[in-house]
């Protein structure tokens, strides 16, 4: 059954840049009312249309997540979808990753989506809406140049699976998204040193932020359980499950 997003009230985190900014444009084109959230208020205000709402703030803070839900409900009286897209990377190896950076990354990549989903759950149950969590291919296959980021995205994937099983009885659609390489400024916004050369070279296989956002929106419309984008990521996921040692040996840091 195809779900129209016209007039739906959709919260998008990380709406100022990259994949989130393209999600905003795609949802607006379908007639959704979008709640744009991120720290960069100026950019959000420039992308918002008259039926949209901007709630700027730092998602590391509980108070920002609470404000997003409160202001959305005050304005529209409902929530039809939450897209937990905001996130950041960290190019530290596992043995060198500073604990404060590791904890901060979990706060943004895992605890913010968890908390926002908890706050929005009563409204999503009412609307039989959608909860979308943007994990990563790194949430299926641990990447040695981003191991703590991978761990946070594995955690988000596990959470999404649990949320899907919990909320199915309420008719809420829960979807996990596993993008591969997407051409955004993600690397520039990450902490730690530069990614290794083979990672930078991988950029030639990247999909655009627009393509990634379109795959997410198609997944919402058709209420898919999982989106892997680009689809070429699927064989990698299956291969790494079947032959983990082989895949790990090919990815070892030299
Ligand atoms: N690019 C890739 O190759 C790739 C691959 C797989 C998965 N992903 C995932 O896709 C999602 C989007 O990534 P992207 O590539 O679009 O990255 P991006 O271009 O760096 O955008 C990140 C977004 O998150 C927001 N954000 C960051 N820290 C925040 C904070 N503390 N509070 C509120 N908002 C915050 C940023 O807005 P402000 O700076 O304005 O706050 C920005 O809108 C992330 O979860 C990422 O892990 C990306």
Encode pLDDT of 206-246 as tens digits. 999 999 999 999 999 999 999 999 988 888 889 999 999 99
Crossing angle of helices 147-167 and 112-127, rounded to 10°: 20
218 within ligand 1 shell (Cβ under 6 A):
no
Of the candidates 39, 5, 46, 47, the residue with the CA atom closest to the CA atom of residue 22: 47
Nearest of 148, 211, 155, 202 to residue 18 by alpha carbon: 211
| pLDDT per residue as tens digits for the range 166-215 | 999 999 999 999 999 999 999 999 999 877 777 777 777 899 999 999 99
Catalytic residue among 76, 91, 92, 149: 149
Distances (CA, A) of 73 to 3, 85, 253: 22, 20, 48
What's the CA gap between 183 and 19, in Å, rounded?
A: 9
Whether 181 sits among the annotated catalytic residues: the reply is: no
Q: Residues 164-177: pLDDT tens digits? A: 999 999 999 999 99
Q: Which residue's CA is the closest to the ligand 1 atom numbered 1?
A: 182
Residue listed under structure tokens 């943004």:
108
* 9-251 to CATH, choices 3.40.50.920, 3.90.1170.50, 3.40.50.720, 2.40.50.100: 3.40.50.720
| Segment 51-106, tens digit of pLDDT | 999 999 999 999 999 999 999 999 999 999 999 999 999 999 999 999 999 999 99
**Which residues lie across from 183 on neighbouring strands?**
208
Query: What one-character DSSP code corresponds to residue 238?
Result: H
Task: Give yes or no for residue 150 CB within 6 A of ligand 1.
Answer: no
Tell how far the Cα of 68 is from the centroid of ligand 1, in angstroms. Answer: 17
**pLDDT confidence tier of residue 251, bands split at 50, 70 and 90:** confident
pTM score = 0.97
């Amino acid at each position: 059954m195809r779900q129209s997003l016209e007039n739906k009230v959709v919260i998008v985190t990380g709406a100022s840049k990259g994949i989130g900014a393209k999600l905003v444009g795609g949802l607006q084109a379908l007639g959704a009312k979008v709640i744009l959230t991120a720290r960069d208020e100026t950019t959000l205000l420039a992308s918002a249309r008259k039926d949209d709402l901007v709630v700027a703030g730092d998602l590391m803070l509980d108070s920002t997540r609470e404000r997003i839900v409160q202001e959305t409900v005050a304005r529209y009286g409902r929530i039809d979808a939450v897209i937990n897209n905001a996130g950041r990377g960290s190019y530290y190896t596992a043995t060198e990753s500073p604990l404060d950076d590791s904890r901060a990354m979990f706060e943004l990549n895992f605890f913010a989506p968890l908390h926002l989903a908890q706050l929005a759950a009563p409204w999503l149950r009412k609307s039989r809406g959608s909860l979308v969590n943007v994990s990563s291919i790194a949430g299926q296959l641990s990447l040695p140049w981003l191991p703590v980021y991978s761990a946070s995205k594995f955690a988000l994937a596990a959470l999404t699976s649990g949320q899907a099983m919990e909320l199915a009885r309420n008719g809420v659609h829960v979807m996990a998204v596993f993008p591969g390489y997407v051409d955004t400024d993600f690397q520039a916004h990450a902490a730690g040193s530069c990614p290794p050369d083979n990672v930078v070279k991988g950029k030639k296989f990247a999909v655009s932020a627009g393509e990634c956002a379109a795959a997410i929106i198609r997944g919402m419309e058709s209420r898919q359980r999982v989106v892997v984008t680009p689809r070429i990521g699927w064989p990698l996921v299956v291969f790494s499950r079947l032959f983990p040692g082989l895949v790990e040996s090919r990815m070892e840091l030299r």
